[in-house]
Amino acid sequence: MAPDQSQPEGPLLGVEALEVAYGDLQVLWGVDLEVRRGEVVCILGPNGAGKSTVLNTISGLVRSQRGSVHFDGQRIDGVPTHRIVRRGLAHVLERRRVFPYLSVRSNLDLGAYNPAAKPHRAEARAWVFSLFPILAEREKQLAGTMSGGEQQQLAIARGLMSRPTLMMIDEPFLGLSPQMVEEILRVIQRINEAGVSVLFIEQDVHLALSVCHRGYVLESGRVALTGTGQELLANEELRTVYLGI
Ligand X SMILES: Nc1ncnc2c1ncn2[C@@H]1O[C@H](COP(=O)(O)OP(=O)(O)O)[C@@H](O)[C@H]1O
Binding site for ligand X (CB under 6 A): 22, 25, 27, 45, 47-53
Please, which residue, 124 or 156, has the CB nearer to Mg ion?
Answer: 156
Query: Per CB under 5 A, which of residues 23..52 are in contact with Mg ion?
Result: 51-52
Residues in binding contact with Mg ion, number by CB under 5 A:
2
Per CB under 5 A, 235 contacts Mg ion: no
User: Distance between CA 214 and CA 98 in Å, rounded?
Assistant: 29
Question: Residue 65 and residue 99: Cα distance in Å, rounded?
Answer: 31
Q: Do residues 106 and 99 make contact, with C-beta atoms less than 8 angstroms apart? A: yes
CB nearer to ligand X: give 18 or 108. Answer: 18
Asked if 166 and 35 count as a contact pair (C-beta separation under 8 A), the reply is: yes
**57 binds Mg ion per the rule CB under 5 A:** no
Strand order in 74-75's β-sheet? 25-35, 13-22, 66-71, 74-75
Nearer to Mg ion, 112 or 218 (CB): 218
Name which of Mg ion, ligand X, none residue 163 binds, using a CB cut-off of 5 to 8 Å depending on partner kind.
none
**Nearer to Mg ion by C-beta: 52 or 165?**
52
4 binds, among Mg ion, ligand X, none (CB under 5 to 8 A by kind): none
Rounded CA gap, 160 and 90, in Å? Answer: 7
Give every CB contact of residue 193 below 8 A, 6+ residues apart in sequence. none
Q: How far is the CB of 207 from Mg ion (least distance, A)?
A: 16
Residue numbers of the site for Mg ion (CB under 5 A)?
51-52
